[in-house]
Chain A
Amino acid sequence: MPHYHIDTDDDVFPVCDEEGQDLANLAAGRALAHRALSDMARHRLPDGEHRTFTASIRDERGTTLYVATLAFSGQCRVAPAAV
């Protein structure tokens, strides 16, 4: 089984996956990267109106095999209400 490292970043807190894990194939890594992205988006609500979440897979030689990004973008269409 190939050994992959899945590095993640949410523009604020980059995490390098030093340990890595054995996965059946790249498709399994891709599925895991997607789950990680949805977890990251769900569990860290954007503080501002723009945030990019990234998950990338590299192999043991350090070659990047796959990169997935999820972009959050909010835009206020009215003047902010006075609070």
Chain B
Amino acid sequence: MSSASDIHSLTMLIRKLESIATLTNEERQAILSLPAKTRVLQPGQDIARDGDKPSQCCLILNGWACRYKVLGEGRKQIFSFHIPGDIPDLQSLHIHTMDHSLATLTEATVAFIPHESMRELTTRFPGVKAALWRDTLVDAAIFREWMIGMGRKSAFGRIAHLFCEMYLKLQAVGLAGGYRYPLPITQIDIGDALGLSNVHVNRTLQAMRGKGLISLRSNTLVIEAWDELMRVSEFDPTYLHLEKRAA
């Protein structure tokens, strides 16, 4: 049975899906009636570990999470950052064994939805299935962009690209506007995601500030020159496939 706050939590999923697809009223209602168990997690807490066989999906309601893998000598690679509205382990619905881990980066509120309920929803509503499929394809498009960044872009280009991407993703679910957003992750997290030492992340952030592109104070990022940040990072938002793109 869903409590009032759980029902509210599922509107986050609707918001996310409606940023990339169109849902009917009936589909929206079906999503709202999904059973979801809400939990508050501490920063750095694993939600699903490499090798796990989850029986539920995790919808982020508040805070940030990441998918990652740890190699020898403490080397860590973050594959993706996740924000409210994302279901970072959606793939566990069809690929049963986790091939990477999912963890919170900040304190986070998440809703767990049983696989069984997700399967039933997607069987009954092909439109929702198509929206989730579309979300998975956009996810893959984001990986392609990160691959270009890691393989071919400078540290400056990689970080600037990430800042543009996160702005549009947050804006799409109503969590950013006016070219500013809360950036609750550390320079180490940014380095682990973009294949850079945190020392060089720090250098690059200072260079960006020096050029008047961004300011970063008490975990709020302000993009001072959006067009220029897009230009230097060769950022083209097409790959996010947002339905209603404001920027």
**In the assembled complex, which residues on chain B have CB atoms less than 8 Å from the CB atom of A8?**
199-200, 203
The number of chain A residues with a CB under 8 A from chain B is 16
Please report the C-alpha to C-alpha distance between residue A8 and residue B204 in the assembled complex, in whole angstroms.
11
The number of chain B residues with a CB under 8 A from chain A is 15
Given known contacts A32-B197, A39-B196, A17 and B155 CB-to-CB distance under 8 angstroms: no
Q: Does A21 contact B (CB under 8 A)?
A: yes
Which residues, 1 to 49 on A, are CB-close (under 8 Å) to B?
6, 8, 13, 15, 17, 19, 21, 32-33, 35-36, 39-40, 43-44
Instruction: Let me know if B207 and A13 touch, CB within 8 A.
Output: yes
Interface SS of chain B: helix
Given known contacts A43-B154, A43-B155, A15 and B203 CB-to-CB distance under 8 angstroms: yes
New contact pairs (12) apart from A13-B203, A17-B199, CB-CB < 8 Å: A13-B206, A13-B207, A15-B202, A21-B198, A35-B199, A39-B196, A39-B199, A40-B200, A40-B203, A43-B154, A43-B155, A44-B154
B224 to chain A, nearest CB (A): 19
**In the assembled complex, which residues on chain A have CB atoms less than 8 Å from the CB atom of B210?**
13
Please report the C-alpha to C-alpha distance between residue A43 and residue B159 in the assembled complex, in whole angstroms.
12
Q: B188-230, CB under 8 A of A: which get 1 and which 0?
A: 1000000011111011101100100000000000000000000
Please report the C-alpha to C-alpha distance between residue A39 and residue B196 in the assembled complex, in whole angstroms.
7
Instruction: Let me know if A36 and B197 touch, CB within 8 A.
Output: yes
Q: Does B79 contact A (CB under 8 A)?
A: no
**In the assembled complex, which residues on chain A have CB atoms less than 8 Å from the CB atom of B202?**
15, 17, 19
Please report the C-alpha to C-alpha distance between residue A47 and residue B204 in the assembled complex, in whole angstroms.
17
